[in-house]
Amino acid sequence: MAEMMFSDAVRDALAEEMRRDRTVWCLGEDLTTAGGSTSASQYDGLVEEFGAKRVVNTPISENTIMGAAVGAAVAGTRPVADLRSCDFGMCAADELVNQAAKIRYMFGGQARVPLVVRQAIGVRRGLAAQHCQSNEAWWVHVPGLVVITPATAADGKGLLKAAIRCDDPVVFMEHKELWGAKGEVPSGDHVVPIGKASVLRKGKDLTMVAWSKMALDAKAAADELAKSGIDVEVIDLRTVWPWDKEAVFASVRKTGRVLIPQEAVQTGGFGAELAATIAEELHDVLKAPVKRLGAPRTPMPYAKPLEDMVRITPAHVAAAAKAMMGKA
């Protein structure tokens, strides 16, 4: 084990996969020049090692990036296309949704698209409405796409390596506020299986199911709730599609109560899919209705006091759990 920042773990994953497989390459805007506290800083040193033909600066055009990446993937390479923020992913939606996601199906498996699309999600202080969205549910809705949402440095590395090796298009969504977070990362060829959840905390009274940074917030809320005698089990999905139904159902059968917190707008969020599936298939073991917790249907404000009113925090999660347990 070595302690490192999430961003460094992701850089290690890219470097290791590029050394392992010469068909792996990266493309995006200003990858070799921007630096700073964006995903571009994770390419520091890669261009010096692998050259400008494998770490490629592109025009400021997300649909150009995605179109080039899809074509290159079909032609036999494994591109990692960096769109920086999921908010900019909308500019590349046609190439991702109508081409990358459907090619394998439309060609009867004769062609595949081994493509990774990096999109940063989540609220970061002061970035406001156009840079703070969590739209993972949009991509989950598209057949053919894999959607990954790591919460820890270890999973950031292990899941990115798994994504690069996957033969289907993967939307890899990293929370902006996790890039600087530190955690222990296993040494060696650390690969985390796609579609397998992680139990961050064991408990018997209530199950929380979350992903990305909200999984860590749920864990923080659960630790605080333990002081009040509420024993919460926290499931980090890690991958929202496919999601680990077996792990979630096993926990729900044990606790009988489910809270699904998400940073995304609650309306139409992925939490609704989880809640509906649990309610439909485990209604006989539920001790209370499934509860969702998400942001209101409003753009993210810029002003800090307004942002604090909209953003879901561990305190909000803990309050919702107490209400479910009748201890509000």
Q: Which domain holds residue 311?
A: 198-324
> Residue 21's beta-bridge partner residues?
none
CA dihedral 146, 242, 10, 177 (to 10 degrees): 100
With contact defined as beta carbons under 8 Å apart, do 163 and 172 qualify? Answer: yes
Structure tokens given for 171 = 């939307």
Among left, alpha and beta (phi > 0; psi -120 to 50; other), residue 262 is: beta
Q: What is the CATH number of the domain that holds 288?
A: 3.40.50.920
Say if residues 249 and 298 touch (Cβ distance below 8 Å): no
Q: Do residues 10 and 162 make contact, with C-beta atoms less than 8 angstroms apart?
A: no
Q: Are the C-beta atoms of residues 239 and 147 closer than 8 Å to each other?
A: yes
160 lies in the same domain as 218: no
15 burial level (CB within 10 Å; 0-12, 13-18, 19+): middle
Let me know whether 91 and 228 are in one domain.
no
Instruction: For 266-324, write each residue's pLDDT tens digit.
Output: 999 999 999 999 999 999 999 999 999 999 898 877 888 888 888 999 999 999 999 99
The Cα–Cα gap between 173 and 238 comes to 10
Phi, psi of 173 (to 5 degrees): -110, 110
Residues 181 and 202 in one domain: no
Residues 122 and 234 in one domain: no
In a domain, 190, yes or no: no
Q: Say whether both 181 and 218 belong to one domain.
A: no
Contacting residues for 13 by C-beta, under 8 A, at least 6 apart: 156, 157, 158, 160, 161, 164
Residue 240 lies in a domain: yes
- Helix (H/G/I), strand (E/B), else coil: 82: strand
Q: Which position among 131, 141, 175, 283 bears the catalytic label? A: 131
Residue 76 has pLDDT above 90, yes or no: yes
Catalytic annotation present for 131? yes
User: Do 172 and 245 belong to one domain?
Assistant: no
Same domain, 180 and 274: no
Name the pTM for this structure: 0.94
Q: 168: pLDDT confidence band, cut at 50, 70 and 90?
A: very high
Number of domains, the chain? 2
Number of other CB atoms surrounding residue 34 within 10 Å = 15
SS3 158: helix
- pLDDT of 27 strictly over 80: yes
Mean pLDDT of the chain: 93
Please answer whether residues 241 and 197 qualify as being in contact, where contact means their C-beta atoms are separated by less than 8 angstroms: no
Length of the chain: 328
**What span, in angstroms and rounded, lies between the C-alpha atoms of 198 and 238?**
7
175-234 pLDDT, tens digit per residue, is 999 988 999 999 899 999 999 999 999 999 999 999 999 999 999 999 999 999 999 999
In a domain, 191, yes or no: no
Q: What span, in angstroms and rounded, lies between the C-alpha atoms of 98 and 91?
A: 13
CATH number (domain holding residue 166): 3.40.50.970
E strands, the chain, are 2-5, 24-28, 55-57, 78-85, 116-121, 146-148, 170-175, 182-185, 198-201, 206-210, 232-236, 239-241, 258-265, 291-295
- Same-domain status, 221 and 166: no
Using one digit for the tens of pLDDT, what is the confidence trace for 86-99? 788 888 999 999 99
3-state secondary structure of 251: helix
Same domain, 7 and 151: yes
Judge whether residue 65 has pLDDT over 70. Answer: yes
Please report the sign of the dihedral spanned by the C-alpha atoms of residue 103, residue 175, residue 245, residue 186: positive
The answer to whether residues 45 and 159 belong to one domain is yes
Q: Which one is predicted more confidently, 155 or 30?
A: 155
Residue 296 domain-assigned? yes
Q: Do the strands 2-5 and 182-185 form a parallel or antiparallel pair, or are they unpaired?
A: antiparallel
Do 271 and 290 contact (CB within 8 A), yes or no?
Answer: no
Written as six digits, the tokens of 41 are 């800083």
Among residues 105, 101, 32, which one has the least CA distance to residue 73? 101
Q: Quick one: 207 and 235 in the same domain?
A: yes
Q: What is the number of other CB atoms lying within 10 angstroms of the CB of residue 136?
A: 26
pLDDT band at 124 (very low <50, low <70, confident <90, very high): confident
Both structure tokens of 23: 């068909």
Residue 192 lies in a domain: no
In this structure, is residue 12 part of a structural domain? Answer: yes
Read off the DSSP letter of residue 149.
Answer: -
